[in-house]
Amino acid sequence: MASIEFQQVSFKQILTNISVTIAHGSQTALVGSTGAGKSTLLRLLNRLSDRTAGKIFIDGKEIFEIPVPVLRRQIMLVPQEVSLLGMTVAEAIRYPLTLRGYPAPEIQTRFQTWSERLNLDSKLMGRAEVELSLGQRQWVGIARALITEPEVILLDEPTSALDRGLAQLLLDTLQELTRSPQPQTVIMVNHQLDQVSSWCSHVIQLHKGQLTLSQTADAIDWQNLDQMLKQAVTHQEDDDEWD
Ligand SMILES: Nc1ncnc2c1ncn2[C@@H]1O[C@H](COP(=O)(O)OP(=O)(O)OP(=O)(O)O)[C@@H](O)[C@H]1O
């Protein structure tokens, strides 16, 4: 279980004065137009980038006080572009557990559990990265994160290359994780409001590096949010400074 709090966080010129709290076990959709700073916000949480001002707390503990390897076990990020680091699919999925020194039988048990849960095709297991479609690679990245059963899962546009069936399986699986006896906290960047509206419990919107919305899902006017996001794209196209 982990709650997250950003207190007046800035990063270079990219994020400005972000203050927001994310409850443990919540499903947060992070929305905003291209270049708004969504990926950067996720990267600050597992310290792929370090904030330049403010504080970030996980369960009340400032993240700079947590050793980076410990933090990255607690918080797993599935990036937009997944790399298998030269491994086969099976090796890549097992890798985070191997790295942490899990005993072989436990690795095998978790591997089987998650392969079944995510409907991973056994024919893919021996393949290298170049032999996978974009969506297959994305799915392997998701499996590699979920197998570690982290307290916080960050997903950066995880459904962008997935077909409808897999996208729904992912949303359902994430929902199960947040409703389990030890709920995991999920933050997902997703541009498809039709997917997130029925899934999330909380919505955060960024626009040009600023927090423009933080609300529970049941208080969201989805049509209005859709309009706001479309307008943000139009204004951005008109904005010379942004180019
Ligand atoms: N480490 C960095 N140093 C300088 N600029 C950066 C850095 N990381 C990202 N940027 C810039 O910050 C801005 C926000 O990028 P970010 O990837 O966070 O946006 P995003 O909302 O995730 O966009 P998208 O929806 O296109 O993925 C962009 O203009 C990007 O070029």
What ipTM was assigned to the predicted interfaces of this complex? 0.93
pLDDT of residue 156: 96
User: What is the share, in percent, of the chain residues with pLDDT greater than 90?
Assistant: 82
* CATH number 3.40.50.300 is the correct assignment for the domain at 4-82+151-237: yes
Cα 57 to ligand 1 centre (Å): 22
CA of 85 to the centre of ligand 1 (A): 23
Q: pLDDT class for 241, splitting at 50, 70, 90?
A: low
What SS3 string covers the chain? CCCEEEEEEEECCCEEEEEEEECCCCEEEEECCCCCCHHHHHHHHCCCCCCCEEEEEECCEEHHHCCHHHHHHHEEEECCCCCCCCCCHHHHHHHHHHHCCCCHHHHHHHHHHHHHHCCCCHHHCCCCHHHCCHHHHHHHHHHHHHCCCCCEEEEECCCCCCCHHHHHHHHHHHHHHHCCCCCCEEEEECCCHHHHCCCCCEEEEEECCEEEEEEEHHHCCHHHHHHHHHHHHHHHHHCHHHC
Q: Which residues line ligand 1 (CB under 6 A)?
A: 12, 14, 32, 34-40, 49
pTM > 0.90: yes or no: yes
What does the pLDDT average to over 177-183?
Answer: 88
pLDDT tens digit sequence for 8-60:
999 999 999 999 999 999 999 999 989 999 999 999 999 999 999 999 999 99
For residue 80, which atom of ligand 1 is closest to its CA? 27
